[in-house]
Amino acid sequence: MTSFSFLSFVHSMIFSIMLHPLHVSVTEIEFDEKDKALEIMMRVFVDDLELTMRQKMNQPELDITAPKGTTIDAMMMPYINDHLKITVDNKAQKLHYLGHEQEGEAFIFYVEVENIKKLKTVQVMNNIIMEIHDDQSNLVHVTVRGKVKSLRLTKDQQVNSLTFDAK
């Protein structure tokens, strides 16, 4: 996965210093024309995700940073596939979960969508953590050919689209 833009760094800093309990995730999607792929990076607060997974797995004592009998990646791969959907030019895309890292109070999840030859319209459904927090906002920033457009997805609007100029 190639490095993300300066915007990613800024979002990382803002994400780290934001006062919690603001319920927000930040997802960045970058279209890499050379590799014909969407590179996706999702930041989620550890404590919010832990509450969500405790409820989902019916394990009230779950420590998401050190789960017993499983791994974070084994838990998160199906969860992200269920709660993040990408459609490019009216064609649903298959997500490839790549892994995660922890940065302070947030997890960063890496996902990729391969074989994207061109992109005019991208539709994003992101309802991560919305089963726990009614006030959850999922911010999505999409970069295509250097142009950044953003969405704010909420419980009332979990899906939205962005259109980019054709090359």
In a domain, 53, yes or no: yes
Domain residues for the domain of 25 are 6-119+126-159
Residue 106 lies in a domain: yes
Residue 164 lies in a domain: no
pLDDT class for 3, splitting at 50, 70, 90?
very low
Residue 81: its pLDDT value, please?
A: 96
- Angle at which helices 72-83 and 46-57 cross, to 10°: 90
- 166 located within any domain: no
Q: What is the pLDDT of residues 24-64, one digit of tens each?
A: 999 999 999 999 999 999 999 999 999 999 999 999 999 99
Q: What is the pLDDT of residue 23?
A: 86
**Is 1 within a domain?**
no
Provide the domain count of the chain: 1
CB-count burial class (<10 Å; 0-12, 13-18, 19+) for 10? exposed
Domain membership flag for residue 165? no
Higher-pLDDT residue of 21 and 36 is: 36
Burial of 21 per CB tally in 10 Å (0-12, 13-18, 19+): exposed
pLDDT of residue 6: 53
Whether the per-residue pLDDT at 166 is higher than 90: the answer is no
Kindly tell me if the per-residue pLDDT of 104 is higher than 60.
Answer: yes
Q: Is residue 167 part of a domain?
A: no
Q: For 100-120, what is the mean pLDDT?
A: 96
Asked whether the beta carbons of 121 and 164 are under 8 A apart, the reply is: yes
Indicate whether 73 belongs to any domain.
Answer: yes
Could you tell me the sign of the dihedral formed by the alpha carbons of 61, 62, 65, 71, in that order? positive
Distant-in-sequence, close-in-space partners of 122: CB < 8 Å, separation ≥ 6: 29, 38, 86, 87, 88, 142, 144, 161, 162, 164
Beta bridge mates, 109: 42, 100
Q: pTM, whole model, 2 decimals?
A: 0.85
Q: For 150-162, how does the pLDDT look when each residue is reduced to its tens digit (9 = 90+)?
A: 999 999 999 999 9
Pull the structure tokens for residue 163: 């259109």
